[in-house]
Amino acid sequence: MTAAAASDARRLRGRLIALGVTGSIAAYKAVELLRLLTAEGADVVVLLSPSATRFVGPLSFAALSRHPVESDVLDLLPDGRIGHIVIADSADVLVVAPATAHWLAAMATGLAGDVVTAAVLASNAPVVVAPAMDGDMWTHPATVTNVARLREGFGYIVVAPESGPLASGQSGVGRLAELPAIVDAVVAAVADRPVRQPNPDARPPLATGIPREADLVGRRIVITAGGTREPIDPVRYIGNRSTGRMGVALADAALARGAAVTLIAAAVEVPLPDAAEVVRVESTADLQRALRAAMTPDGAPADALVMAAAVADFTPAVRLDRKIARADGLTLQLSPTPDLLADVAASAASRAADAAGGPATSPILVGFAAETGSLDRAPAKLRAKGIDLLVANDVSEPGSGFGTDTNRVTILDRGGSVEQLPLLSKREVADRILDRVALALDARDEAAQTADARPVRAEEGRPA
Ligand code: CTP
């Protein structure tokens, strides 16, 4: 089975899942539950009860789900629709995790005072409930009666809490069930029902205006930095003047915006961020291996690659394993290196061409073009490499290029737009590039959700 075909095994592809979170200490686990549901291909929209907002902020949920978070029954969507009703009418399944004793009681009596109960009450989609509370609360006759009513009276699927240490310091039954068990219950609840609301306009809207500090939450970004060194013999190499400042500024900025960053660092002269997963490389060949591993690891493929490394264009045709003596003389024969970025672009395109992988798995690819004198070659470079964005700069200009803390760049995109930025700090340039990456990823996700939500053909189990 190819990687793309394997990704088609995502069990919630095209489904809209409403995740209701109520005010338990286990509310933080809902963030990870959201990730697991998304990894199964679901489009997730989050509803928070007022007390849940005291444990977890709406920003992480909005950034991860890419939808506005519903937390107030009286709030309207920007287009005037009532958010929790849109969710009630379009979700394929509603999952309440963690569900507090208070929420179970409110739901058992139909008291719709918060968005989670209101959405569940207004929906005829299947409901999965994962309670979490203190052990004595769980065994209290009131809770036992409420759970029985939800299960037997309303037909809700209750994923019972587990036994173990509780927030109170005691031990007993009350811990939120293991998250994979909740995901399995959600999968079983939708089973082979058709997608309930395939029309994206009738589903909850996408979030807009997520601030920079969170707009890359949930994204995995690979960044290369520094200059490669091509070995001539064990003591000598061919290098270049890159210091790695631009790549490291990109890694710092991406981390500050919530991304998980793999930083592939060739020769760099600046400190590397602790929060990144750092892979050290020396030659172009090392960089190629590290890139392949980072772009398509065993888990989810990377969301974006920003190729800021100065990759050698030529490498010695032979590498000697002993030091060449001066008396021997030296004439170097160089061979061109493979174009690593074009390579990554070609393999991403071939994965996307497989309908099973689809655009959802295509990374956003950003290249750099260090030119001298004119940027005329930049548009052709962008096309030849098959990438989404090219950041071009004239390294011969004062304040731009190697070893400086500033840069003046022009960002070209696949659609033909050209954005000339003024002289800025490398960190600000990094943020401007990441603004474009964040937008491109949102557009990619929107397109994928629309495609995934098309009606599922029962005989294929795939969108028609
Ligand atoms: N790059 C690459 N592999 C190479 C050379 C460059 O992946 N062997 C990447 C660089 O990291 C950069 C982009 O391609 O993001 C453009 O690099 P640049 O040196 O400007 O372009 P080249 O394709 O090498 O073209 P030329 O040398 O003709 O300018």
DSSP per position, 61-115: HHHHHSSPPB--TT-B-TTS-BHHHHHHHH-SEEEEEEE-HHHHHHHHTT---SH
What average pLDDT score do residues 306-332 get? 94
Whole-angstrom distance, CA of residue 276 vs CA of residue 279:
9
* Ligand 1 mean position, distance from CA 197 (Å): 45
| Res. 359: pLDDT tops 70 | no
* Ligand 1 mean position, distance from CA 313 (Å): 7
Show me where the domains of the chain are located: 3-202, 220-453
Which of ligand 1's atoms lies nearest the C-alpha of 366? 15
| Res. 461: pLDDT tops 70 | no
For ligand 1, which residues put their CB under 6 angstroms from it?
307, 309, 311, 313, 337, 339-341, 367-370, 381
DSSP 454: S
Q: Which of 242, 307, 411 to mutate to test the pocket of ligand 1 (most atoms within 8 A of CB)?
A: 307
Stretch among 46-55, 133-142, 180-189, 393-402 having the lowest mean pLDDT: 393-402
> CB-hemisphere CA count at 13 Å for 172?
13
Q: Which of 124, 199, 240, 393 is catalytic?
A: 240
Q: In this predicted model, what pLDDT tens digit does every residue of 367-376 receive, in sequence order? A: 999 888 888 9
Q: Which of 223, 292, 339 to mutate to test the pocket of ligand 1 (most atoms within 8 A of CB)?
A: 339
Residue 240 falls in the annotated catalytic set: yes
| Res. 1: pLDDT tops 50 | no
CATH numeric code, 3-202: 3.40.50.1950
> Which of 138-152 are b and which e, b meaning 16 or more Cβ less than 10 Å from the residue's Cβ?
beeeebeebbebbee
Q: How confident is the model at residue 45 (pLDDT cuts 50, 70, 90)?
A: very high
| Res. 460: pLDDT tops 50 | no
* Ligand 1 mean position, distance from CA 324 (Å): 30
CA distances from 375 to 191, 276, 297, 379 (A): 55, 32, 35, 8
pLDDT at 299: 66
Percent of the chain with pLDDT over 70: 93
| Res. 256: pLDDT tops 80 | yes
Tokens of 364: 């956003």
pLDDT at 388: 97
Report the range out of 193-202, 378-387, 391-400 with the highest average pLDDT: 378-387
The answer to whether 3-202 and 220-453 have equal CATH topology is yes
Report the range out of 54-58, 286-290, 401-405 with the highest average pLDDT: 286-290
Percent of the chain with pLDDT over 90: 74
Q: Which of 284, 295, 311 to mutate to test the pocket of ligand 1 (most atoms within 8 A of CB)?
A: 311
Q: How confident is the model at residue 453 (pLDDT cuts 50, 70, 90)?
A: low
Better-scored residue on pLDDT, 385 or 456: 385
Q: Which option is the CATH number for 220-453: 3.30.420.40, 3.40.50.300, 3.40.50.10300, 3.40.50.720?
A: 3.40.50.10300
| Res. 457: pLDDT tops 60 | no
* Ligand 1 mean position, distance from CA 339 (Å): 7
What average pLDDT score do residues 416-423 get? 94
| Beta strands 418-420; 409-413: pairing state | antiparallel
